Amino acid sequence: MNEQSLTVKDAIIQRRSIKLFNGQPVDREVLLSILEDALWAPNHQLRQPWRFIVACGSELNELHELLKEYGIPKWHELSEDALEKQMQKYKNPGGYVFVIVPEDARQKERLEDYAAASMLVQNIQLLAWDRGIGSCWKTPGFLDNPKFRESLGVKPGERIISMLQVGYYDEAPKPKPRKSIEEVITFFGNEN
């Protein structure tokens, strides 16, 4: 696939969250190049309030162990087959990007930082989509588990805002309809 093939409009409209990946590995260089471009997201005072913890290739095995421990309730009570079945949702993505944002004590800055990092995530998702790589922003509860955070390498004062799964897929899901523009717009002064 070309480095860039979609218009911005098409990328925005056609991107879908991919939850069923086909297991094909994501090349480290491709993922790094996507993340590098995504860093151009707008952010107030150029605080660049983000860092990534990335797993693709060989380090995925260790991450899968962590996801098993914290992401599969009572995993040790499951049969090998049942556990393997449940683990597919963690093993099928070709890579993981954990997006880490500082928790500024000041509310305005903290909200701005979350907003900026969300734009960065959208950048990643669109750039990946353009290269035929799907993604899904996931926020399972265990992201805030102190033991999971520590095992992942997250420091006090930081928050994992997204477990972004990335990977190749065989089929994109159908789009879920959005509200029409008429439903969400009021022209100033015309509200009844």
Ligand X SMILES: Cc1cc2nc3c(=O)[nH]c(=O)nc-3n(C[C@H](O)[C@H](O)[C@H](O)COP(=O)(O)O)c2cc1C
Binding site for ligand X (CB under 6 A): 16-17, 19, 136-140, 176
CB of 170 to ligand X, least distance (A): 16
Q: By beta-carbon distance, which residue lies closest to ligand X? A: 17
d(C-alpha 73, C-alpha 88), whole Å: 15
- CA distance linking residue 124 with residue 118, whole number of Å: 10
Q: Which residue has the tokens 């151009």?
A: 40
Phi, psi of 20 (to 5 degrees): -120, 100
Beta bridge partners of 121: none
For ligand X, the closer CB: 68 or 89: 89
Pairing of strands 134-138, 158-167: antiparallel
28 versus 117: smaller Cβ distance to ligand X: 117
Which of residues 14 and 22 has its CB atom nearest to ligand X in the complex?
14
How far apart CA 187 and CA 43 sit, in angstroms, is 28
Query: Closest separation between CB of residue 18 and ligand X, Å?
Result: 8
| Least distance between ligand X and beta carbon 121 (Å) | 8
Provide, rounded to whole angstroms, the least separation between the CB of residue 37 and ligand X: 20
User: CA angle, corner 123, sides to 135 and 66, nearest 5?
Assistant: 40
Closer to ligand X by Cβ: residue 132 or 140: 140
- Nearest approach, Cβ of 58 to ligand X (angstroms)? 26
Q: Judging by beta carbons within 10 Å of its beta carbon (0-12, 13-18, 19+), is residue 185 exposed, middle or buried? A: exposed
Going by the DSSP 8-state scheme, the letter that residue 188 receives in this structure is T
Residue among 177 and 189 whose Cβ is closer to ligand X: 177
